[in-house]
Amino acid sequence: MRAKPALLTVAHRLAILAYIAFALFPLFWLLKVAVTPNDLLYSEGIRLWPSRASLEHFDFVLRHSAFPVFFRNSLIVSGSTAVVVTILASLSGYALSRFRFRGKYWLVTLMLLTQMFPLVMLVAPIFKILSPIGLTNSLTGLVIVYSAFNLPFATFLMQSFFDGIPKDLEEAAMIDGATQFVAFRQIILPLTLPGVAATLGFVFTAAWSELLFSLMLISGNEQATFPVGLLSFVSKFSVDFGQMMAAGVLALIPAGLFFLLIQRYLVQGLTAGAVKG
Amino acid sequence: MAYAARQDGLPAIRPPLMKRIADASAPYLYSAPTLILIVTVMLVPLALGISYAFRDVQLLNPFSGAFIGLDHFRALSRDEAFFRSLRNTLWWTGASVLLQFAFGLILALLLDRPFRGRALAQALVFLPWAVPSFLAGLNWAWLFNPVVGPLPHWLYAAGLMSEPGNILSDPELAMWGPIIANIWWGIPFFAITLLAALQAIPRDLYEAASIDGAGAAQRFLSITLPFLAPTIAITVLLRTVWISNFADLIIVMTNGGPADRTQIVASYIFTQAFKRLDFGYASAVALVLLALLLAYSLLILILRQWLLSKD
């Protein structure tokens, strides 16, 4: 009778381990090839770890390639998008959470609608609109486009955080003579700081990963974001696997850091934007 | 003085006009920046894109732009590549959603049991979700590449392949490449949402059921599944729409090849706009995709109404 639960436990742990292995293996392999010196890459084939590891690919990528520029561009775009979206979404999320107004239903409907249609539809028209006003091949253009794309989801996310804070707090402040905006800024917003951090993290990660619009809108190396730079590198130097994977590892770093930051809020974030990755 | 007079004199009636206007407009002021951005960057281009579908818009041709009626749609009805991409979209979406959901559900059930190191295990298995999609695509493309990746060699060693080749260049198998990458990348999404739903099920229900002699399978079927059903329905439906539009992995891994075998409608639209710079035709295809997605959503709504009325 005792053997059965023990067996179940073992099976359970093995299954968990299998999932962990599946989740981590591709990333492990990325790292492994990135630290494999070129002369060992082909001779050692599919060994799990090279007999001699080196950081030469990272050194090359950081010093002799355009990747630091791509990295900086992506940081600027994702960081600015995250800040812009978080500010605007805390305002609109607050409106949805605290006010009853006639346009509310339409606002919510509009934002849900934007989550349902294929964004790839907008690739051509957005290019046509941004090109005459000089916002193609510009980081500002990308920030504007990404901000709009992320606002609906971020608004719902911020709304869910505001909903968790009792209304009495700002009512008390307003009885003491503060205007609602002052109450919002000085009392409610500080209480939602974890929500603000989570929104920053989600939006940053989404902007960092965006591919199609930056491929379409950016053409030169100067303004290329990381995905654009990496893909053009792949099509140009498709033999230099070590360097490509070293660049890939670098692209993973900011996303990984933000993942740690927002880990606690994953559930809330995914339910607020169930339609978003 | 005026202040004192008001205090003991007139009853406090309505607040002054300016204050009322300010109060009524407050929610609109809070949401205005968001609304303006969404309308100008999403709705206006959407309307413009719909108009492109009926116009001849080519980026490199300055004389294009004329209204051409339904010409694009006539061309579309004879476009073999488009119909292939439609079939591929069904295959890509169906296989991805089904497998992501199945593996996600199993993972959620595994993580629902308390064990030592659960927080760490959870962080590790959810990690792929944070990997940027372009990197997930490239990473899997490299794993499938016989020069640097182990997978072809393992498949060969297991006798599943006659030689260690790249499945991404095999027309029969190529679609499995992006699908596997998508499963890897999407399991966390289902696992996270389903786990949250699982943890909301009252535990005493299970205890009561075991006291009544219900076995594990019976408990799963009569407690867990009914409780999860709404979450499952919503996530699967929304995810279906989302994945059918998700072209990143395909564009990165195969670019629709070999011979259009992995081209889905979304990647076909992007290729038309990005490679051939034929914005008119791309928008016509996009309009068809939009119509299909709308039809799908309507079908779901009707199904839901029908199910509700049946109860």
Q: What is the 3-state secondary structure (H, E, C) of A189-242?
A: HHHCHHHHHHHHHHHHHHHHHCCHHHHHHCCCCCCCCHHHHHHHHHHHCCCCHH
Based on the number of CB atoms within 10 Å of its own CB, is A22 exposed (0-12), middle (13-18) or buried (19 or more)? middle
Residue of B nearest to A129 (CA): B45
Residue B252 pLDDT:
92
What average pLDDT score do residues B53-58 get? 88
Tell me how far apart the alpha carbons of residues A203 and A32 are, in angstroms, rounded to a whole number.
Answer: 30
Mutate to test the interface with B, among A27, A75, A123 (most CBs of B within 10 A): A123
- Using an 8 Å Cβ cutoff, are B308 and B300 in contact? no
Residue A3 pLDDT:
65
Residue A273 pLDDT:
57
Using alpha carbons only, what angle is made at residue B240 by residues B90 and A200, rounded to the nearest 5 degrees? 135
Residue B10 pLDDT:
53
> Residue B6 pLDDT > 50, yes or no?
no
Tell me how far apart the alpha carbons of residues B177 and B173 are, in angstroms, rounded to a whole number.
Answer: 8
**From the list A107, A122, A267, which residue is nearest B31 (CB)?**
A107
Residue B217 pLDDT:
86
- Is some CB atom of chain B closer than 8 A to the CB atom of A75? no
- Is some CB atom of chain B closer than 8 A to the CB atom of A119? yes
- Is some CB atom of chain B closer than 8 A to the CB atom of A175? no
Sorted by sequence, the CB contacts under 8 Å of residue B100 that are 6+ apart come out as: B182, B183, B186, B187, B189, B190, B239
Model confidence band, residue B113 (pLDDT cutoffs 50, 70, 90)? confident
> Residue B114 pLDDT > 50, yes or no?
yes
Residue B141 pLDDT:
93
| pTM (two decimals) | 0.88
Kindly list the residues from chain B whose CB atom is less than 8 angstroms away from the CB atom of residue A22: 184
More confident residue, B167 or A4: B167
AA letter at B160: L
Q: What is the 3-state secondary structure (H, E, C) of B179-225?
A: HHHHHHHHHHHHHHHHHHHHHCCCHHHHHHHHHCCCCHHHHHHHHHH
Nearest to A35, CA basis, from A230, A246, A239, A237: A246
Kindly list the residues from chain B whose CB atom is less than 8 angstroms away from the CB atom of residue A155: 34
Sorted by sequence, the CB contacts under 8 Å of residue A44 that are 6+ apart come out as: A36, A50, A51
pLDDT per residue as tens digits for the range B291-309: 998 898 888 888 878 877 8
Three-state DSSP at B11 gives coil
Question: Nearest C-alpha of chain A: how many angstroms from B306?
Answer: 22
Kindly list the residues from chain A whose CB atom is less than 8 angstroms away from the CB atom of residue B40: 148
- Is some CB atom of chain B closer than 8 A to the CB atom of A24? yes
Alpha-carbon dihedral sign for residues B110, B113, B115, B120: positive
Tell me how far apart the alpha carbons of residues B63 and B79 are, in angstroms, rounded to a whole number.
Answer: 25
Q: State CA B54 to chain mean position distance.
A: 28
Kindly list the residues from chain B whose CB atom is less than 8 angstroms away from the CB atom of residue A120: 245, 247, 266, 269-270, 286
| Contact between chains at B129 and A241 (C-beta distance less than 8 A) | no
Residue B85 pLDDT:
94
Residue A2 pLDDT:
55
Mutate to test the interface with B, among A31, A137, A266 (most CBs of B within 10 A): A266
- Using an 8 Å Cβ cutoff, are B127 and B119 in contact? no
Kindly list the residues from chain A whose CB atom is less than 8 angstroms away from the CB atom of residue B270: 120, 123, 212, 216
- Using an 8 Å Cβ cutoff, are B142 and A33 in contact? yes
Residues in A 225-244 with any Cβ partner in B closer than 8 A: 227, 230-231, 234, 241, 244
Kindly list the residues from chain A whose CB atom is less than 8 angstroms away from the CB atom of residue B245: 118-120
Based on the number of CB atoms within 10 Å of its own CB, is A220 exposed (0-12), middle (13-18) or buried (19 or more)? exposed
Mutate to test the interface with A, among B19, B29, B38 (most CBs of A within 10 A): B38
> Residue B96 pLDDT > 90, yes or no?
yes
**From the list A96, A124, A252, which residue is nearest B135 (CB)?**
A252
- Is some CB atom of chain B closer than 8 A to the CB atom of A140? no
Q: CB count, 10 Å around CB of A213?
A: 20
Residue of A nearest to B187 (CA): A23
Residue A139 pLDDT:
93
Residue B13 pLDDT:
61
Residue A275 pLDDT:
41
> Residue B4 pLDDT > 50, yes or no?
no
What kind and span of H or E run contains A271? helix A266-272
| ipTM given for this complex | 0.88
Mutate to test the interface with B, among A122, A131, A170, A257 (most CBs of B within 10 A): A122
| Contact between chains at A94 and B30 (C-beta distance less than 8 A) | yes
Sorted by sequence, the CB contacts under 8 Å of residue A126 that are 6+ apart come out as: A145, A213, A216, A217, B41, B45
Mutate to test the interface with A, among B23, B28, B30 (most CBs of A within 10 A): B30
**From the list A16, A121, A145, which residue is nearest B41 (CB)?**
A145
Model confidence band, residue B234 (pLDDT cutoffs 50, 70, 90)? confident
| Contact between chains at A127 and B297 (C-beta distance less than 8 A) | no
Tell me how far apart the alpha carbons of residues B169 and A165 are, in angstroms, rounded to a whole number.
Answer: 54
Q: What is the 3-state secondary structure (H, E, C) of B26-68?
A: HHHHHHHHHHHHHHHHHHHHHHHHHHHCCECCECCCCCCCCEC
Q: Helix crossing, B265-274 with B279-310: angle to 10°?
A: 160
Residue that is written with structure tokens 């919510």 in the block: A108
Residue A277 pLDDT:
38
Residue B84 pLDDT:
94
Three-state DSSP at B116 gives coil
| Contact between chains at A275 and B30 (C-beta distance less than 8 A) | no
Tell me how far apart the alpha carbons of residues A243 and A34 are, in angstroms, rounded to a whole number.
Answer: 7
More confident residue, B84 or B200: B84
Rounded to the nearest integer, the mean pLDDT of chain B is 87
What average pLDDT score do residues B166-182 get? 92
What average pLDDT score do residues B175-203 get? 91
Q: How many CB pairs under 8 A join A and B?
A: 259
Based on the number of CB atoms within 10 Å of its own CB, is B172 exposed (0-12), middle (13-18) or buried (19 or more)? exposed
pLDDT along chain A (277 residues), means of 10: 76 95 94 86 77 86 88 95 96 91 88 84 90 91 95 91 86 84 88 88 91 89 88 75 89 86 73 50
Kindly list the residues from chain A whose CB atom is less than 8 angstroms away from the CB atom of residue B196: 267, 271
Nearest to B242, CA basis, from B148, B162, B133: B133
| Contact between chains at B242 and A277 (C-beta distance less than 8 A) | yes
> Residue B82 pLDDT > 90, yes or no?
yes
Nearest to B294, CA basis, from B302, B306, B282: B302
Kindly list the residues from chain A whose CB atom is less than 8 angstroms away from the CB atom of residue B53: none
More confident residue, A171 or B2: A171
Model confidence band, residue B201 (pLDDT cutoffs 50, 70, 90)? confident
| Contact between chains at A118 and B143 (C-beta distance less than 8 A) | no
Model confidence band, residue B2 (pLDDT cutoffs 50, 70, 90)? very low
Tell me how far apart the alpha carbons of residues B92 and B65 are, in angstroms, rounded to a whole number.
Answer: 34
Tell me how far apart the alpha carbons of residues B228 and B219 are, in angstroms, rounded to a whole number.
Answer: 13
What kind and span of H or E run contains B139? helix B133-144
Residue B61 pLDDT:
76
Residue A143 pLDDT:
96
Residue-wise DSSP of A115-157: HHS-GGGGHHHHHHHHTTTT-TT-HHHHHHHHHHHHHHHHHHH
Residue A115 pLDDT:
80
What average pLDDT score do residues B193-211 get? 87
